[in-house]
């Protein structure tokens, strides 16, 4: 049902009707591809990179979120300039020296729309104050109710608000009643479908226009991440009013997983976080044969992927053009085998410029500050083979694009060499029959839902292609010893043992090891039982 609230249009003056729910969703193009809010990782340049792969007709179908911002830090101003360094260094919607000129975040003139700004908060007035500052530059404000990290527990926000449904209602309702643009929310599932439904109903009753549901519980993080439960999201779809707009989050490793998720959940859109970090083109359909031949590689087995050098180049070009405000350096065409292209440049020595001065350009600019982390994520498979690139990335000063241009040349050269070797060996340079057989055997022995091997087989590409980072499933991590109880759990187990009259002496075997396994298994059992997908991350 559409709201009929009348609000002030802060940018254009006058009054406008505030839309709500599905009517609002349709007004921004009914996006079904959703770039997730990621702390320090879904900044302007990365959003623009992700948008750059979408064909023109699909541009309105990609909705992006800003990184999560802290509402109190974002809203509180000092008595004199600079009024708020935190806000100025995280959300750059206007030029610093000309506040009447749009710049980066949320600028429709450069294509950074539709855009939702996400905040974490536990105080309705801090949240409203922060939201009012971004309202003229975005389409909606989102409340983070999903962050499971320790800092969220300490700060009492994110998923650690889910026990206080009354506070959640007040946070959302305050924005719904006082903000000139819609409010949305992102949650995690609870212990049961029924509890999750009641949670969702509270969020919607408070006034949220769109509900994003991450199909994992708060405990599912790090080695316990496991598989997101799409069945919970389907349950919400079937039991909430049909006009409810729902975004599904979890298990998106490749583009094809998006349609699978839509079909399984009935959601209106699908959000990707880690899948997007590994492949910013994840929302775009795969190019047709003959299209983007210099950027999209196809192997002899028919599998293809965007080349890391091509993605790296696009990313740097966006930083030069929009953030630095100049033209990218002149570059040679990307190397394509069997095209008679010059290869003499492969013999040239690559020199990475020294660091300039003592202050990095990254200070106060989130787009420069995120560059190194993005490249480590994007090149994760690449640097496991090319350690010199890994070391160069680690040494690079954030914000000094000249250094990253040098690293790009290293990547460009190694990709060209890899492509030449692939062609000269008829593809055998990338074959590993023993490893493939090992993975297939794991799937046969454990089943596709108990091992990450099935996802690795499906998603694996040569190191010069972007591809997902696939975590071991929790039981695999437990078998490898990667999951262990924390200090508190160990202390509790020792106390339990002492209280049970079991005396520990040096060198004597006890039941502690068995209790370690028991604690880990308890954590695993807290997870949902969704077993209809081989996906293990995203």
What crossing angle do the helices spanning 308-318 and 401-424 adopt, rounded to 10°? 160
Q: Name the residue among 165, 172, 189 with its Cα closest to residue 248.
A: 189
Tokens of 140: 């909606």
Q: Name the residue among 470, 400, 368, 381 with its Cα closest to residue 40.
A: 368
Q: Name the residue among 4, 134, 7, 48 with its Cα closest to residue 370.
A: 48
Tokens of 207: 């006034």
Cα 493–Cα 495–Cα 500 angle in degrees, nearest 5: 95
Kindly name the residue from 120, 147, 459, 465 that is annotated as catalytic: 147
Instruction: Please say whether the beta carbons of 338 and 423 come within 8 A.
Output: yes
Beta bridge partners of 142: 118, 184
Contacts 24+ apart (CB under 8 A), 302-307: 303/461, 304/461, 304/465, 305/279, 305/461, 305/462, 305/465, 305/466, 305/467, 306/53, 306/279, 306/281, 306/465, 306/466, 307/334, 307/415, 307/464, 307/465, 307/466
- Give 286's DSSP letter: P
452 phi-psi bin (left φ>0, alpha ψ -120 to 50, beta other)? alpha
Identify whether 147 is a catalytic site residue. yes
Peptide bond into 507 cis (omega under 30): no
Q: How many helices (H) and strands (E) does the chain have?
A: 22, 14
Active site residue ranges? 147
């Amino acid at each position: 049902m559409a709201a009929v609230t009348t609000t002030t249009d802060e940018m254009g003056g006058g009054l406008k009707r505030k839309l709500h729910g599905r009517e609002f969703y349709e007004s921004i193009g009914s996006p079904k591809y959703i770039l997730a809010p990621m702390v320090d990782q879904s900044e302007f340049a990365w959003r623009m990179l992700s948008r750059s792969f979408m064909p023109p007709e699909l541009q309105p179908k990609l909705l992006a979120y800003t990184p999560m911002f802290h509402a109190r830090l974002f809203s509180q101003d000092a008595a004199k300039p600079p009024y708020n360094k935190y806000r100025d260094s995280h959300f750059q919607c206007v030029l610093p020296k000309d506040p009447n000129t749009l710049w980066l975040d949320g600028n429709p003139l450069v294509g950074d729309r539709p855009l939702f700004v996400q905040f974490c908060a536990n105080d309705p007035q801090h949240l409203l104050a922060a939201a009012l500052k971004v309202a003229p530059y975005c389409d909606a404000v989102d409340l983070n109710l999903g962050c499971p990290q320790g800092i969220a527990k300490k700060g009492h926000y994110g998923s650690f608000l889910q026990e206080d449904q009354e506070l959640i209602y007040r946070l959302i309702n305050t924005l719904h009643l006082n903000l000139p643009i819609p409010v949305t929310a992102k949650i995690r599932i609870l212990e049961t479908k029924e509890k999750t439904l009641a949670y969702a109903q509270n969020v919607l009753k408070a006034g949220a226009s769109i509900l994003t549901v991450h199909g994992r519980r708060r405990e599912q993080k790090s080695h316990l991440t496991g598989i997101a439960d799409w069945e919970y999201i389907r349950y919400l779809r079937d039991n909430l009013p049909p006009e409810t707009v729902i975004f599904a989050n979890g298990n998106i490793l490749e583009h094809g997983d998006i349609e699978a998720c839509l079909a399984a959940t009935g959601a209106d859109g699908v959000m990707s976080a880690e899948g997007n970090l590994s492949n910013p083109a994840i929302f775009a359909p795969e190019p047709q044969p003959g299209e983007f031949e210099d950027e999209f590689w196809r192997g002899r087995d028919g599998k293809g992927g965007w080349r890391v050098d091509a993605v790296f180049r696009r990313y740097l070009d966006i930083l030069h053009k929009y953030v630095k405000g100049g033209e990218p350096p002149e570059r040679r065409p990307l190397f394509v085998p069997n095209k008679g292209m010059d290869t003499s440049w492969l013999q040239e020595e690559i020199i990475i410029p020294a660091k300039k001065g003592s202050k990095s350009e990254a200070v106060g600019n989130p787009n420069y500050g995120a560059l190194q982390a993005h490249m480590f994520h994007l090149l994760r498979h690449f640097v496991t083979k090319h350690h010199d690139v890994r070391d160069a990335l680690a040494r690079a000063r954030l914000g000094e694009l000249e250094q990253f241009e040098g690293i790009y040349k290293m990547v460009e050269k190694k990709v060209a060499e890899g492509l030449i070797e692939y062609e000269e060996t008829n593809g055998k340079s990338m074959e590993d029959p023993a490893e493939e057989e090992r993975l297939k055997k794991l799937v046969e022995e454990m089943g596709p839902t108990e091992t990450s091997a099935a996802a690795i087989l499906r998603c694996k590409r040569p190191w010069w292609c972007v591809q997902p980072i696939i975590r071991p499933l929790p039981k695999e991590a437990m078998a490898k010893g990667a999951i262990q109880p924390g200090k508190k759990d160990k202390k509790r187990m020792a106390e339990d043992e002492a209280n049970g009259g079991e005396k520990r002496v040096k060198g004597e075997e006890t039941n502690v090891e068995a209790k370690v396994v028991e604690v880990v298994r308890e954590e695993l059992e807290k997870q949902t039982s969704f077993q209809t997908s081989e996906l293990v991350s995203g």
